[in-house]
Amino acid sequence: MPHAFGYRARTPTVFAKKFRHHGPPAVTRYITVIKTGDYVDIVGDPGIQKGLPHKHYQGKTGRVWNVSPRGIGIMVNKQVNQRIIVKRVCVRSEHVRLSRCQEEFKKRVAYNEAAKKAVSAILDQFGWETADMGKAEAARAIEPLCMLWCIPGFVRNQWTHAFKLLTK
């Protein structure tokens, strides 16, 4: 007997729930606030067949472009041969969860901003001008200059010298 080519063909393991996690989804799936522009993960819940996404989109991350009372529109990148197409998929909210893909990026941005404020506060105490040299990764090029500044101070025990940034 030939195998089927249906919409959910070859998906018993893709849409299977974990051991002792069967049944309806938790209430938090329904009360999670999802707004336009949020990054979400498409995770099909086999306990609810309505609005179940196609098997290709299982586990994909996309950006919300539309929110309606029963469904959520998500833009997902789909690779077709050598090109990537942006697909708009409508999925029910039970099959979506907020993505954590930007957590580390947001932490890094907050850390960089806090570091910039701390350094500018120290420079303001000395009465020096501050100049933004870019991201924290740019500090790798500036650190050798700071070491050069420290060497004469430690050798002569005089800290009256300084470097100045020359600009046009």
Predicted confidence (pLDDT) per residue in 79-113, tens digit: 999 999 999 999 999 999 999 999 999 999 999 88
Which residues span the domain enclosing 149?
103-156
Instruction: Please say which residue of 50, 82, 98 terminates a domain.
Output: 98
Task: Label residue 140 left, alpha or beta by phi (over 0 means left) and psi (-120 to 50 means alpha).
Answer: alpha
We report the CATH number of the domain holding residue 38 as 2.30.30.70
Residues 132 and 79 placed together within one structural domain of the fold: no
Structure tokens at 146: 């700071």
Sign of CA dihedral 122, 124, 129, 130: positive
The structure's pTM equals 0.70
Predicted confidence (pLDDT) per residue in 33-74, tens digit: 999 999 999 998 888 888 889 989 999 999 999 999 989 999
Q: Does 34 reside within a domain?
A: yes
Q: Does 161 reside within a domain?
A: no
Task: Give the helix ranges, DSSP H, for 20-164.
Answer: 28-31, 103-126, 139-156
